[in-house]
Amino acid sequence: TCALPILALAGAPDDLVRAAAFSAGVEDFVHRGTDPQELQARLRTLMRLGAAARRAQDAEGTLARLQQRVRERDRELEALHKQVHEMRASLHVDNRTQRGRVDGIVQLGLEFNRVQDFHVLMDRILSEARRLIHADAGTIYVREGPTLRFAYAQNETLARRGDGPHFGG
């Protein structure tokens, strides 16, 4: 019944009754003696207006749901954008790190040809290997038959405290 229009019919045209009827929610007001064709036309018009109002309400509800979905998608998109930005920054750092490692290896290769002192070269190799893998310490062993002989060692923490080796063998 909520889809049906409310039409008030009064015995005589009275402004106070008419105002009270509209205040109560009447959509149209006629008084006795109104032509039946006019009454039918008024009812058809009220039905069309009611249907249009329901369609407008439905459209507003649909619009509100779509706006909510758009806001959710915007939040998702912003989160993805942030992830992409973080990945780019991380890749930039990784790229710089890898470039530094490659440069160190190339430099070490160049030093192989220039350095004549074997002990200096071994110390340089150990330092570069530690730098590449971010190691605090490292040791080079030399195989002599079935055994390994301690040859070169470096320990940054002990060297800073003055307690340990930071030397070549």
Q: What is the pLDDT of residues 28-68, one digit of tens each?
A: 888 888 888 988 898 888 888 888 988 999 999 999 999 99
Give the pLDDT confidence score for residue 1 in this predicted structure: 57
Give the pLDDT confidence score for residue 84 in this predicted structure: 93
d(CA 109, CA 103): 10
Helical ranges in 115-133 per DSSP H: 118-133
* Candidate from 66-70, 85-89, 97-101, 156-160 with smallest mean pLDDT: 97-101
- Asked if residues 44 and 27 have their Cβ atoms less than 8 Å apart, the reply is no
Mean pLDDT for 147-168 is: 78
CA angle 113, 150, 160 (to 5 degrees): 85
Q: Give residue-wise pLDDT tens across range 110-119.
A: 766 776 777 8
Q: Return the structure tokens found at 116.
A: 């004549």
- Asked if residues 158 and 164 have their Cβ atoms less than 8 Å apart, the reply is yes
Question: What is the pTM assigned to this prediction?
Answer: 0.43
| Close Cβ partners of 47 (under 8 Å, ≥ 6 residues apart) | 5
Residue with tokens 């920054």: 89
Instruction: Give me the percent of the chain exceeding a pLDDT of 70.
Output: 91
166, β-bridge pairs:
154
